[in-house]
Amino acid sequence: MYTEEAKIKRATYHLWTFMTSKLISSFGSNVYAFAISFYILQVTASASIFAINLICSILPRILVGPIAGYVADNFSKKRTIIIAQIVQTLTIGGLLIYTISFGLSLYAIYTTTIVLSLASSFSTVTFSSSITRLIDEARIQRAMSLNQMSVSIATIGGPVAGGILYGTVSIPVFLAIYMTASAIAVILDATMNFNLFAKPKDPSKPKVRESAIQNFKEGLVYLRKQKLITALMFVALLVNFLFGAVQVGFSYVLINLLHMESQHVGIIEGALAVGFLIGSIYFSIGKEVKYPLLVSKRGIIGMGLGMGAISIPLFITLSYWGNFTINLIIMLSIGMLSIVVNTPVGVVMQKTIDNDYKGRVFSILETTSMALMPLGMVIFGFLYDLLPAEWVLIGTTIILIVIVLYLLRPSVIYNVYPELNKRNQQMSKVETTA
């Protein structure tokens, strides 16, 4: 048993260990992802083939999402995370051995991506449901912000390092970097106590382990009662579908249409993470947002405008460095807005969702929000091969903004925050009286 003082000290250790683990593993993952993406686009020059690898990274997460939530809520969280991360490490090691023996192939890449995606689904959902067990409630926003900062730093350094290394070292070097980083993350995560702030079970209610299907149904029933989370789920479903235009098209535009060099593509992609970092620093020291759904609405609209802005160099002839600069600014802006959208809502969910349901709820949210992404990637992959990229981006931007304005219209916002409606009505009366 820990004293309260010892718990706080241990939570501080968790805070920094969790951040360091994420930093190391994310750095390796981003170096690997950059190398594989550049390899596929250089070898095939096809947006649709590039999209297949993205689908391989998302579709498995959708399929096993409910199972991952069930496992997170019913089995040892620490054991689940460690096993999932070991599987990731061994998978990269297997691809390394295969590449050295036979050379890299698209089928080997797709297979590796599928296995990594499956393992990542279990570790991500379980970690998300473990935050309030690792960290004291007063520092949850700080924990989430620091976590995002570590991912941001890795996402900055990963593509930059990948861009510099690509063409000078072999693919096996990239794989070795990722495998080493993943192994270090396993060791760090193994030192944490995932039950530090776990609430004691009620002895009068013995735990009955239900089937995965029944467990999932209970999660859905619980989720229906959460108005804010339900509203966000439907928004995320369509927004993630439409942002397939960026996931598939951005690298395609930079590499195949603007002919950017690998190191400059890495720097531009790293700018997205710089935006993450700036936003994370702000939220790590700032107050909690009062109306996260309203803030998310504005942030998503801003991200949509950023997506449309990617088409500017395709309409206007700019110099090489002009193209570099405008894309750098766009990625920086989208990165900051992503944090504005995600962090406030993430804090609310961590504090409002019951610990016994967190695994299921986070898995349902991940599954539903990603459900249309594979379809989006297939559609946008073919659209980029058939139509001018600038019109794909502009058309998708318009559709995104219209959908968000409708789904998060004032009546929906006021339904979640009735006090905001009352405040606005009172202000209107004051203005009318004046």
Query: How far apart are the C-alpha atoms of 393 and 158, rounded to whole Å?
Result: 26
Radius of gyration of the chain (CA): 22
DSSP state of 44: H
Stretch 317-336: mean pLDDT: 91
| Res 146: pLDDT | 72
- Average pLDDT of the segment spanning 326-333: 92
Collapsing DSSP to helix, strand or coil, 364 comes out as helix
CB atoms within 10 A of CB 11: 20
pLDDT at 368: 67
CA distance 128 to 18: 12
3-state secondary structure 184-242: HHHHHHCCCCCCCCCCCCCCCCCCCCCCHHHHHHHHHHHHHCCHHHHHHHHHHHHHHHH
pLDDT at position 291: 77
Q: Do 185 and 21 contact (CB within 8 A), yes or no?
A: yes
What fold characterizes domain 4-195+212-419? Growth Hormone; Chain: A; (1.20.1250)
Contact 360, 69 (CB under 8 A): yes
Say if CB 375 and CB 319 are below 8 A apart. no
The per-residue pLDDT of the chain, averaged, comes to 80
Q: Is 3 exposed, middle or buried (0-12, 13-18, 19+ CB in 10 A)?
A: exposed
Where are the alpha helices (H) located in 45-105, listed in sequence order?
47-74, 77-102
218 CB contacts (<8 Å, ≥6 apart)?
Answer: 210, 357, 360
pLDDT tens profile 88-127: 999 999 999 999 999 888 889 889 888 988 888 888 888 8
Give CA angle at 339 (304, 216), nearest 5°.
95
Extents of the domains making up the chain: 4-195+212-419
What are residue 169's phi and psi, to 5 degrees?
A: -125, 165
CA distance 160 to 32: 12
pLDDT reported for residue 89: 92
Q: What is the pLDDT of residues 234-278, one digit of tens each?
A: 777 778 788 878 877 888 888 888 888 877 887 887 787 788 778
Residue 370: the pLDDT is: 65
Cα 81 to Cα 207: distance, rounded to the nearest angstrom: 22
* Sign, CA torsion 79/80/85/88: positive
- What distance in Å separates the CA atoms of residue 327 and residue 306, rounded to the nearest whole number? 10
Tell me the pLDDT band of 27, cut-offs 50, 70 and 90: confident
Read off the pLDDT of each residue in 147-176 and give the average, rounded to a whole number. Answer: 74
pLDDT tens-place string over residues 392-406: 999 999 998 998 888
Q: How is residue 416 written in tokens?
A: 């979640």
| CA-based nearest residue to 360, from 75, 68, 3, 114 | 68
